[in-house]
Copies of this chain bind each other. A is one copy, B any other.
Amino acid sequence: MQKVKVAVLGGSGYTAVELIKLLLRHPGAEITAVTSRQAEHVADLHPSLLGRLDLQCEPFDPDALKAKGVQVAFGCLPHGTSMESIPPLLDRGIRVIDLSADYRLRDATVYQEWYKETHHDAKNLAHAVYGLPEVYGDTLAGARLIANPGCYPQTAILGLAPLAANRLIELSGIVIDSKSGVSGAGRTPKLTTHFPECNESVSAYSVGTHRHTPEIEQALGDIAGAAVSVIFTPHLMPMDRGIFSTIYATPTKPVSEAELTALYRGYFAGKPFVRVRTAPPATKDTTGTNFLDVCVKVVRGKVLVLAAEDNLIRGASGVAVQNFNRVFGFPETIGLL
């Protein structure tokens, strides 16, 4: 198999190290460069990589990446920084799969409203593709810039897609109650993620203000063909990984659990990374995998959707590889099972 030369930009965080591990097992990828200013060798950034990837980190330099023959760069940089670094790569013909939020929101004013920063790469925002393969799969082949989706949004979007596509629920007032492991907060130490603070505790955060809200609404709006509005509440769980979303929606007409389960099975047929279950999923059954598990229930006239994933794999680095497979014409599951 012809190997695609890839670079990982911003190699110090959790999504980067998971991505590197996935790419090391991928028969069609060759890691050519990892950029970071925080250490000399990738195994100094991530001791788990010792003996697996013998590569010096390098500063971010688009010309150097081009000279090495890099064909695609995975962006693991913070939002804001991404939209600075990505244009010069695209200008040099390097494709980008961006794990940040910078190219997810089609409307730059919405970006500004939620991220409190001006978007200054309208040119590339215009052609960026939202990389949720189960929904936007047809647009991915050959895309030059893919905005990899957020971790929480995938549980909400895929969890509700069959209902939204068929207009079976009311499109406003949808409640999305999400529970995430601590790795979702990144690798920079903070008091809220200091072990003795968040261990043995559960709390809600960013109530009503979390930046994934407009991303969820944009995609569900695309699927429904109408505006969607959600109440999204994220919670921090005392565990490393995993997102569990419990979603409450109001059906527009009476439905049964059996009908809905059948609808979900039909909708996700041929989509190998979504598993429809009849029992509530558990995040643990998705840990280390690119699967998103979903279960639909009817309780006292409300539709409940339970969705679980590994926030670092399905929620970030795994779906990035899935997008990579789509862009370069590999089978969708290669390197991911």
Contact = CB atoms under 8 A, between A and B. Distances in A.
A205 interface: yes
B282 A47 contact: yes
Contacts of A196: 14, 181-183, 187, 193, 240
A246 interface: yes
A237 B23 CA distance: 31
B235 A284 contact: no
Interface stretch (A48-56, A59-67, A73-81, A316-324): A48-56
B199 A246 contact: no
Given A48-B289, A233-B246, A248-B231, A189 B193 contact: yes
B201 A282 contact: yes
A277 to B, nearest CB: 7
B239 A24 contact: no
Interface stretch (A111-119, A144-152, A220-228, A299-307): A299-307
B282 A203 contact: yes
This chain: how many copies in the complex?
4
Interface in A265-285: 272, 275, 277, 279-285
A48 B310 CA distance: 12
Contacts of A208: 297-300, 304
A237 B198 CA distance: 13
A237 B237 CA distance: 7
A314 interface: no
A268 B50 CA distance: 14
| 8 pairs of A and B residues whose beta carbons are closest in the complex | A201-B284, A208-B299, A189-B189, A203-B282, A48-B285, A202-B244, A182-B195, A183-B196
